[in-house]
Amino acid sequence: MTALTVTDLCKHYGALKVTDHVSLDIAPGEIHAIIGPNGAGKTTLIAQLSGQLGSDSGRVALDGKDITHLSMPERVRLGLARSFQITSVLPGFTALENVALAVQARQGSSFRFFGTVAAERALNAAAMEALHEAGLDHRAQIPARSLSHGEHRRLELAIALATKPRVLLLDEPLAGVGGEDAETFVENLRRLKGRLTMVLIEHDMDAVFALADRVSVLVYGRIIATGAPDAIRSDPEVRAAYLGEEEQEIA
Ligand SMILES: Nc1ncnc2c1ncn2[C@@H]1O[C@H](COP(=O)(O)OP(=O)(O)OP(=O)(O)O)[C@@H](O)[C@H]1O
């Protein structure tokens, strides 16, 4: 069975077809990158998959279950999370507190059977685990507003991981993260590989080709190729679609 099945997904704004019959089969444990030129529809597609944005037509299934008409919170509860939503971090709260809030949202009332101290300990333990997975446990007590940009991105990853997703949608996790920070982040994502399924939108081609098991190329809202990184890199149609700035990066 596939982890995430996307069939003929469409979204248009006026005459502009932003996603145009997009179909994808994402295997369990796979990192599936979606690349494409600016304006190709990548962010729109992720928003459709997460439930943030409704689709005009088409179908999305998670582990075989049709989730096309479910809201974003309903999808999160079923194990489909999106990282890097601007809204998710409270700047005055520590990294640990921010993640603990996400854990609490996932657990709902399940902590009410504990005493206050035990509940807090259980929450913190789960939050520390997510921070560790995101490579930020050493900064747990730092207020979010004092974290560097790269650390902020990792905090957003930890918040998404705290919802214990089976499928994680990552929208440009490396945007604005450079140098060593980017390498560490790629390493963090690599360590998660196989434990959950990831759909990754990323402009950093080094990261894409280092992480992805398969790559799909979106151009003008259409998937023009899907395949292993090496096959995609040498695909003439893909190279043609990247003429301009991206061609240098993909070479
Ligand atoms: N709410 C909207 N109303 C009208 N047009 C929109 C809307 N959202 C996106 N678009 C248009 O849809 C197209 C695809 O946008 P989208 O942000 O999904 O592309 P992208 O591939 O993520 O681009 P980038 O790589 O630059 O982030 C663009 O032409 C954009 O202007």
Show the domains of the chain with their CATH numbers. 1-79+166-251 (3.40.50.300), 87-164 (no CATH)
To test the pocket of ligand 1, the residue of 9, 10, 12, 13 to mutate (highest count of ligand atoms within 8 Å of its CB) is: 13
In which band, very low, low, confident or very high, does the pLDDT at 204 lie, cut at 50, 70 and 90? confident
Q: Look up the ipTM and state it.
A: 0.95
What pTM, to 2 d.p., does this model score? 0.89
pLDDT at position 222: 96
* Closest atom of ligand 1 to CA, residue 47: 18
Q: Provide, rounded to the nearest whole percent, the portion of the chain with pLDDT above 70.
A: 90
To test the ligand 1 pocket, which listed residue (11, 12, 18, 42) has its Cβ within 8 A of the most ligand atoms?
18
Which atom of ligand 1 sits closest to the CA of residue 221? 14
Q: Tell me: the pLDDT tens digits for 171-198?
A: 998 888 878 888 888 998 999 998 899 9
CA distances in angstroms from 38 to 52, 87, 221, 242, 249, listed in the order given: 20, 23, 11, 10, 14
Burial of 87 (0-12, 13-18, 19+ CB in 10 A): exposed
Chain segment 60-107, per-residue pLDDT in tens: 999 999 999 999 989 988 999 988 655 568 999 999 999 998 888 777
Checking if the pLDDT of 25 tops 90, the result is yes
Mean predicted confidence (pLDDT) in 106-128: 74
**41 CB less than 6 Å from ligand 1?**
yes
Mutate to test the pocket of ligand 1, among 9, 10, 34, 42 (most ligand atoms within 8 A of CB): 42
Nearest CA to ligand 1 atom 9: 44
